[in-house]
């Protein structure tokens, strides 16, 4: 009898252990029906460098969207993963994808991330500042770049533009637009931001700036022979020039020899925040370098694109020329443009706006995922970097709107007429 009870208890004990084990296993094992969605398709490429070299190579070609579009077609998805600039990335390619990211700014992604190459080259400028410091720098820069400041600069911009056309365009049968516009925008930025007008100094800075630009987006390997190494050395040369200008300007301001509204450097030298803090010399230099880069490179691309489309569309060019000629006729000989004249350039502005839509001078924007989230059935992990591709999104949109049989439609005409 005792033996039977012992056998029964043993059987119950074994059964209980078996059941508990099955329950724990079921709870601890991942449920295939509730597994997280996969990562977007794609390749992380080589260790460390990933697919950076392919991205940079296509970026230097005449078709910078090639890197993304090839992968969109290869994987059949508007999202793909890759590894570039030492980081794991998800590329978002398409209007709907852009809308999703912009509508979830500071919820799922933040825009304060920049590649290490940019952060190291620009040092103590706005993009590396955080919190109160970032707000202070931004407020100072915006005060110098607002509408009132623009009104003050119009006459100087007109004068510099006329001088550039007379020296670089008149009397020449052929002009390389992109290279010539690069010189123009750099001279304009140097004049407006730091009042640099000396031809020898401009030539010297332009040569260094060209080297600097080639290493802004690169693997941050500061070794002789690399683009980043050369860019770092060029940036230091430019900084030395800007630092000398800032120090000389401070002396001139103290002696009331120049106006505090003369240019960006003067404005930053005299502006204080609510606590009385001013930017240091190197903060002024680094933020001037940042604006020289941001204000010159995108403007060069935009002007070149405008000239390209005007050359391809004679009807649009004729209307722009008519509007500009009417404004020129209303001016006295030698009289420079004013803010009121700019307001009359409505058709010209519509053309520029449409060109910026068709050929964005900024190819994309960096973001960082601040939480795990899903989109289009894919997981975007926290900490991964996200690239919004503006120009690729346009191409995707155009493919949706226009099929091959109507690919010769010129959307520029339509948009200008309805703006």
**Domains of the chain in sequence order:** 52-114+364-418 (3.30.43.20), 120-312 (1.10.630.10)
Band of pLDDT at residue 415, cut at 50, 70 and 90: very low
Which helix (H) or strand (E) segment holds residue 84: the answer is: strand 79-84
pLDDT at position 33: 55
Work out the burial of residue 181: count CB atoms within 10 Å of its CB; fewer than 13 is exposed, 13-18 middle, 19 or more buried: buried
Confidence tier at 409 by pLDDT (50, 70, 90)? very low
More confident position, 147 or 7: 147
pTM for this one? 0.79
DSSP conformation letters of 354-398: HHHHHS-SS-EEEEEESS-EEETTEEE-TT-EEEEEHHHHHHHHH
CA distance 373 to 240: 45
What pLDDT digit, counting tens, does each position of 186-235 carry? 999 999 999 999 999 999 999 999 999 999 988 888 999 999 999 999 99
Give the rounded percent of residues in the chain with a pLDDT score beyond 70.
84
CB neighbourhood size of 55 (10 A): 22
**What confidence tier does 336 reach under pLDDT thresholds 50, 70, 90?**
very high
Predicted local distance difference test score (pLDDT) of residue 18: 53
Average of per-residue pLDDT values in the chain: 84
Say how far apart CA 26 and CA 227 lie, in whole Å: 55
pLDDT given at position 407: 41
**% of the chain surpassing 90 pLDDT:** 52
Alpha-carbon distance of 69 to 65, in angstroms, equals 6
Residue 23 has pLDDT above 90, yes or no: no
Quote the CA–CA distance of 92 and 389 in Å, as a whole number: 6
What's the pLDDT tens digit per position in 86-131?
A: 899 999 988 889 899 999 998 999 987 888 999 999 999 988 888 8
Write down the residue that tokens 């569309």 correspond to. Answer: 313
pLDDT at 27 (0 to 100): 53
Q: What is the pLDDT, as a whole number, of residue 346? A: 94
pLDDT at 277: 83
User: In 169-280, which ranges are continuous DSSP H helix?
Assistant: 177-194, 199-214, 227-254, 264-270
Helix, strand, or coil (residue 245): helix
The predicted-structure confidence for 32-59, as pLDDT tens digits, reads as follows: 556 779 999 999 999 888 999 888 887 6
Predicted pLDDT at 113: 83
Cα 145 from chain centroid (whole Å): 18
Confidence of residue 30 (pLDDT cuts 50, 70, 90): low
Q: Give the sign of the dihedral formed by CA 224, CA 227, CA 232, CA 234.
A: positive
């Amino acid at each position: 009898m005792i033996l039977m009870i012992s056998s029964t208890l043993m059987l119950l004990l074994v059964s209980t252990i078996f059941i508990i084990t099955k329950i724990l296993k079921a709870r601890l094992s991942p449920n295939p029906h509730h597994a997280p969605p996969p990562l977007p398709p794609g390749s992380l490429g080589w260790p460390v460098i990933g697919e950076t070299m392919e991205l940079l190579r296509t970026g230097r070609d005449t078709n910078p969207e090639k890197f993304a579009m090839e992968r969109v077609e290869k994987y059949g998805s508007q999202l793909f993963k890759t590894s570039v600039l030492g980081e794991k990335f998800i590329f978002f390619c398409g209007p709907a994808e852009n809308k999703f990211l912009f509508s979830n700014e500071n919820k799922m992604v933040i825009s304060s991330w920049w590649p290490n190459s940019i952060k190291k080259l620009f040092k103590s400028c706005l993009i590396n500042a955080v919190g109160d410091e970032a707000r202070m720098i931004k407020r100072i820069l915006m005060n110098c770049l607002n509408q009132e400041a623009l009104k003050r600069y119009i006459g100087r911009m007109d004068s510099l533009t006329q001088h550039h056309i007379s020296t670089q365009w008149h009397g020449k049968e052929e002009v390389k637009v992109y290279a010539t516009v690069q010189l123009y925008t750099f001279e304009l930025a140097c004049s407006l931001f730091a009042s640099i007008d000396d031809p020898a100094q401009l030539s010297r800075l332009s040569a260094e700036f060209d080297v600097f630009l080639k290493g802004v987006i690169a693997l941050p390997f500061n070794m002789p022979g690399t683009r980043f190494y050369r860019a770092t050395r060029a940036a230091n040369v430019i900084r030395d020039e800007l630092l000398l200008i800032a120090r000389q300007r401070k002396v001139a301001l103290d002696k009331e020899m120049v106006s505090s509204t003369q240019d960006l450097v003067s404005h930053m030298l005299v502006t204080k925040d609510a606590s009385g803090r001013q930017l240091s010399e190197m903060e002024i230099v680094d933020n001037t370098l940042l604006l020289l880069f941001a204000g010159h490179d995108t403007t060069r691309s935009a002007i070149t694109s405008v000239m390209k489309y005007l050359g391809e569309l004679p009807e649009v060019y004729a209307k722009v020329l008519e509007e500009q000629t009417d404004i020129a006729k209303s001016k006295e000989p030698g009289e420079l443009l004013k803010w009121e004249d700019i307001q009359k350039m409505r058709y010209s502005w519509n053309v520029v706006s449409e060109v910026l839509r068709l050929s964005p001078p900024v190819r994309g924007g960096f973001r960082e995922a601040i939480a795990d989230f899903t989109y289009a059935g894919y997981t975007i992990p926290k900490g991964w970097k996200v690239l919004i591709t503006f120009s690729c999104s346009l191409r995707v949109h155009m493919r949706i709107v226009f099929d091959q049989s109507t690919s010769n439609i010129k959307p520029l005409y339509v948009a200008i007429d309805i703006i």
